[in-house]
């Protein structure tokens, strides 16, 4: 499926996308020549169409369905992660869809919160030099265009609560169980 979009000042050129299966449901992945730019949960039917419309509007350029090329390595690494064989992603990331404080927080999360660990919203705020910004950290997690790869599922409430999650709380629980932070669900 090819979607042409006029080239604009913000255009990143060709954007390759694909929907891939995972243990938490279908994921839509998109990449520019700079790297992986988007991961979208529950990407079937209308959710996929909305995600592609948002990407076209935000990135400009041409959206081309392709599971090879730019997406081959992210797809391989995500499959290895969901199979339990990968603990750290090593793919180029395109940060075009996130700016300012949110980008700073997400970069710290990607670099400083390893597999199998969690961090509180307030702790993450302190790590980026904004100790009073726990709620803003929550907003940054909600705007994360690269979930799983930039592991916003590893951010929890300081009182031990699981916190919110754009992919749904069940998805967050399953990701934390995969990493050994929570027990596997009984059913």
Catalytic residue numbers? 152
**Rounded Cα gap, residues 55 and 33, in angstroms:** 15
Instruction: Judge whether 177 and 183 are in contact, CB under 8 Å.
Output: yes
List, as one string, the DSSP characters of the chain. -EE-----TT--S-EEEEEE--TTS-EEEEEETTEEEEEESS-SHHHHHHHHHHHHHHH-S-EEE-SSGGGHHHHHHHHHHHTT--SS----B--TT--HHHHHHHHHHHHHS-TT--EEHHHHHHHTT-TT-HHHHHHHHHT-SSTTTS-GGGEE-TTS-----TT-HHHHHHHHHHTTSSPPP--
């Amino acid at each position: 499926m090819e979607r042409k979009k006029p080239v604009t000042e913000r255009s990143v050129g060709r954007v390759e996308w694909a929907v891939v299966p995972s243990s938490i449901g279908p994921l839509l992945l998109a990449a520019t020549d700079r790297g992986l730019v988007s991961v979208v949960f529950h990407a079937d039917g209308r959710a996929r169409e909305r995600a592609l419309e948002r990407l076209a509007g935000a990135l400009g350029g041409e959206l081309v369905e392709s599971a090879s090329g730019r997406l081959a390595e992210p797809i391989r690494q995500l499959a290895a992660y969901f199979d339990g064989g990968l603990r750290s992603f090593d793919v180029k990331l395109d940060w075009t869809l996130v700016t300012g404080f949110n980008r700073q927080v997400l970069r710290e999360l990607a670099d400083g919160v390893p597999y199998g660990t969690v961090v509180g919203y307030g702790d993450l705020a302190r790590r980026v030099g904004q100790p009073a910004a726990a709620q803003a950290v929550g907003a940054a997690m909600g705007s994360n265009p690269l979930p799983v790869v930039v592991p916003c599922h590893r951010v929890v409430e300081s009182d031990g609560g699981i916190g919110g999650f754009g992919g749904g709380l069940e998805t967050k629980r399953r990701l934390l169980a995969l990493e050994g932070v929570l027990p596997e669900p009984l059913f």
